[in-house]
Amino acid sequence: MTKSFLSKQCKEVILGSLLGDGSLKIHHPYKNARFSFCHSVKQKEYFFWKLEQLKEISGEKCWWVQSNNKLGGDKVRYQSLALESLTDLYRLTHEKQELRIRRKWLNMLTPLSLAVWWLDDGSLITNGRRGVLCTDCFPYKEQKLLVRYLYKVWNIKVAIGKIHRKRNGKQSEYYRLWIRSSEELQKLLRIILPHIKIASMLSKVVLMYKNIDLQQRWISEVGKATGFSQKVIEGCLNEKKSRWKKFRE
């Protein structure tokens, strides 16, 4: 393997996104890999924040809007240059052209990587005090590696749970990582909060409490870690509460 010339930050973002919405591929007839990802236009602020972290691997025309997409509306897509340094990461993370979860590259993840993973594919559930990571595309055996990694390295307990989805007319079984307590979810969020730099990202880290004291404590903690004002955080919180019918009941 040749020496990688990617900056530490760029590598952290790519590795985190490979667990989420990102992909590394070698397209014929190129010999080197490209990194790509896409998001809904509703997430364009996050999209452009991520693009800013990847300047060193980006060409002049590295992103575009894919219109009239039937699956969730318009998308914004990014694709990097084909680079030898990305091929190094491809070889580290892929086997027989498929992404494979391996501890040797999970150990390279950082708080920034976890932030990107969560912002890509994490969601708050159960009135905003539990969490889930949509790891549907990974085999059960590899998800067990993720569970052990999160506990051993970050002391975060997650569980693997089944979901059933219909695809192409057939019912299929998948697995996701569930964070089933507020305490474990807070552990993850405290790690990634310093990397929440765009206001639209706050909805994925602002927990909701009916207890006023607990709510104010979390607002204060988010503000100190992210630098956002209490007004901005409360605005995000109120918007979330207006959408969560069960929370209002």
Q: For 8-42, what is each residue's pLDDT tens digit?
A: 999 999 999 999 999 999 998 889 999 999 999 99
- pLDDT digits over 47-105, tens only? 999 999 999 999 999 999 988 766 668 999 999 999 999 999 999 999 999 999 999 99
pLDDT for the residue numbered 73: 83
Q: What's the pTM?
A: 0.93
SS3 labels along the chain: CCCCCCCHHHHHHHHHHHCCCCEEECCCCCCCEEEEEEEEHHHHHHHHHHHHHCHHHCCCCCEEEECCCCCCCCEEEEECCCEHHHHHHHHHHEECCEECCCHHHHCCCCHHHHHHHHHHHEEEECCCCEEEECCCCCCHHHHHHHHHHHHHHHCCCCEEEEEEEEECCEEEEEEEEEECCHHHHHHHHHHHHHHCCCHHHHHHCCCCCCCHHHHHHHHHHHHHHHCCCHHHHHHHHHHHHHHCHHHHC
Considering the chain, what percentage of its residues have pLDDT values greater than 90? 83
What average pLDDT is seen over the chain?
Answer: 92
pLDDT of residue 1: 38
Q: Which domains does the chain have, with CATH numbers?
A: 8-99 (3.10.28.10), 112-248 (3.10.28.10)
